[in-house]
Amino acid sequence: MTTGRPLALLAVLYAAVCSGTAVADEPDLFVSTAVSLKEPLLAAIEDFRGIPAGHRSPMIRIHMGGSVVLAQQILRGAPSDLFLSASPHEIERLADAGLVDSGSTCALAGNTLVVVVPIGGQRLDALQHLADPRFERVGVANPRTAPLGRYTQQIVAAANLQERLENRLILAEHARQVIDYVARGEVDAAIVYTTDAQRFADRVSVALEIDPDLHEPIEYRAALVGAEPPRFRAKALFEFLCSDAGRARFVESGLKPWPGTR
Amino acid sequence: MAWHALKLSFSVGMMATVIVVLSGTAFGWLLARSRFRGRELLDALLMLPLVLPPTVTGYYLIVLLGRRGLLGGPLHEMTGWSIPFSWTACVIAASVVALPLMVRAARSAFESIDARQLLAAASLGHGTGSIFLRIALPLARRGLATGAVLSFARAIGEFGATLLLAGNIAGRTQTLPLAIYEAFQMGDDRAALTLSIVLTVVSLIAMGLIARLGNRR
């Protein structure tokens, strides 16, 4: 009897916890998104929730990270109904694996890059100045985990800075971690998305806009994931994000309209 | 890359073990043999990294030692030296996380010494330092060796605090556990498996060596 009571309590607790989740009649919807799309995606999902669904809508679970890592997780079978990538290449990888139908992807928006420094940090007028020894540590995204890292790699190569920067690069896992390093003052300069720089304007200052011709165009794409016919609600969310109203949310957040969507 | 991660893990693990064995033995002796104000508090503080998730420990370390941190800020202003993303950062993270294991082991080793043996030594004219070095240390040898083994194992496997304080920079601060994490994330299972086996073998060899040293007369 002495052991029976805590067990009974546990059973009651378990039942209480489970009943909370068991009422939803549709399983959760999983959205994997490039971390730099966080705010506009949340805003678009708010709009989407406002659209009457006709039945109980599933919970929408958002998983953020570097797009390369997210694509890898989806390849390994991570639950994902929608994938929003900071580059079309990751979506192509999923399409090659048969996880994405090339007909169910759309371009959401574009972006540009800037060099940022901590508030009150060193100024610079040209990309070449990053090679100055006064920039002891330069924050960049890891090309192995985030498309931002690939774009940065292209810029560094185009500006012929590889050798001079090599030992000073501090690699971060994704776009938000790069800008966090600048905001904390741990790096003296960093290459980040323009939209992230705007969002952290109280903690970093833009030192230089980067010529978009130095890297491949930055294109955010959304894709429906899953080989079987997509779930009704996932398809509805995908179609909303790709609609003019949905894409407007991304442009409002500072992203560039992407020419020739769909 | 893998070779660098292995060398880095080994050098960080060794350095952290040296630091932790020296400081942990001193703290263990202090906690076992002295009564002073704040003893409980010191004990709790030293044990904290054992119960905290390593990411929390790492977060505290970056708040403390970052370029704008409570200690790191003045240090950077005065010397231009910054700790995060360096070899030193790896060593600090590994040491802080491994220290509780050494303190625990040292403390119980010292506590299990019969106090009369120490009293006898004192009555024969040994000073405190001499008692510590000639009586207490040899008697606590096995406990200390165990502490060293555990500390090395903990230090070489450190992940969370290292990731926050030292980052994950291949060729610079990417230790074996971080290299395994990155390889796994990239879907490079072969590299992840190879590195995991390497880490397992290195840990086994190191433990065997240290354990043998502890048993030697």
A72 touches chain B (CB under 8 A): yes
Shortest distance between the Cα of A134 and any Cα of chain B, in A, equals: 11
Name chain B contacts of A68, Cβ cutoff 8 Å.
186
Q: Is B158 on the interface with A (CB under 8 A)?
A: no
Whole-structure pTM value: 0.82
Q: What is the DSSP string of chain A?
A: -TTHHHHHHHHHHHHHHHHHHHT-SSPPEEEEEEGGGHHHHHHHHHHHHHS--SSPPPPEEEEEE-HHHHHHHHHTT---SEEEESSHHHHHHHHHTTSEEEEEEEEEEEE-EEEEEETT----SSGGGGGSTT---EEEE-TTT-HHHHHHHHHHHHTT-HHHHGGGEEEESSHHHHHHHHHTTSSSEEEEEHHHHHHTTTTEEEEEEPPGGGS--EEEEEEEE-SSSPPHHHHHHHHHHHSHHHHHHHHHTTPBPPSS--
Sequential pLDDT tens for chain B (217 residues)? 678 899 999 999 999 999 999 999 999 999 998 889 999 999 999 999 999 999 999 999 999 999 889 999 999 989 988 899 999 999 999 999 999 999 999 999 999 999 898 989 989 988 888 999 999 999 999 899 989 989 999 999 999 999 999 998 888 899 999 999 988 888 888 999 999 999 899 888 877 876 676 665 4
For chain A, which residues make up each domain, given as ranges?
A: 10-110+218-252, 113-209
Residues in chain B with CB shorter than 8 Å from the CB of A170 are 85, 167, 169
Question: Could you report the average pLDDT of every consecutive run of 10 residues in chain A (262 residues)?
Answer: 61 59 65 96 91 72 94 90 96 94 92 96 91 94 96 96 91 95 95 97 96 96 83 90 94 87 40
- DSSP string covering A58-110: PPEEEEEE-HHHHHHHHHTT---SEEEESSHHHHHHHHHTTSEEEEEEEEEEE
Tell me the pLDDT tens digit for each residue of A207-260: 999 999 999 999 999 999 985 666 788 999 999 999 999 999 999 999 999 874
Q: Which of B67, B84, B167 lies closest to A171 in CB terms?
A: B167
Scanning A107-166 for CB atoms below 8 A from B yields: 137, 142, 144-145
Give B182's contacts in chain A (Cβ within 8 Å).
144-145
CA distance B123 to chain A (A): 55
CB contact, 8 Å: A171 with chain B?
yes
Q: Which residues of B touch A120 (CB under 8 A)?
A: none
Interchain pair A171, B82: CB under 8 A: no
A113-209: CATH topology is: D-Maltodextrin-Binding Protein; domain 2 (3.40.190)
Enumerate the residues of chain A whose CB falls inside 8 A of the CB of residue B84.
Answer: 186
- Please tell me if the domain spanning A10-110+218-252 has the same topology as the one spanning A113-209: yes
B126 contact A CB<8A: no
B162 Cβ under 8 Å from any chain A Cβ: no
* CB-based contact, A67 to chain B, within 8 Å: no
Does residue B84 belong to the interface with chain A, where contact is any CB pair within 8 Å? yes
The whole-angstrom distance between A238's CA and the closest CA on chain B is: 26
Using CB atoms, which residue from B82, B168, B186 is nearest to A171?
B168
Which CATH code is given to the segment(s) B2-215?
1.10.3720.10
Query: Which residues of chain A lie closer than 8 angstroms to B85, CB-CB?
Result: 137, 170, 186
Q: Which CATH number does A10-110+218-252 carry?
A: 3.40.190.10
B68 touches chain A (CB under 8 A): yes
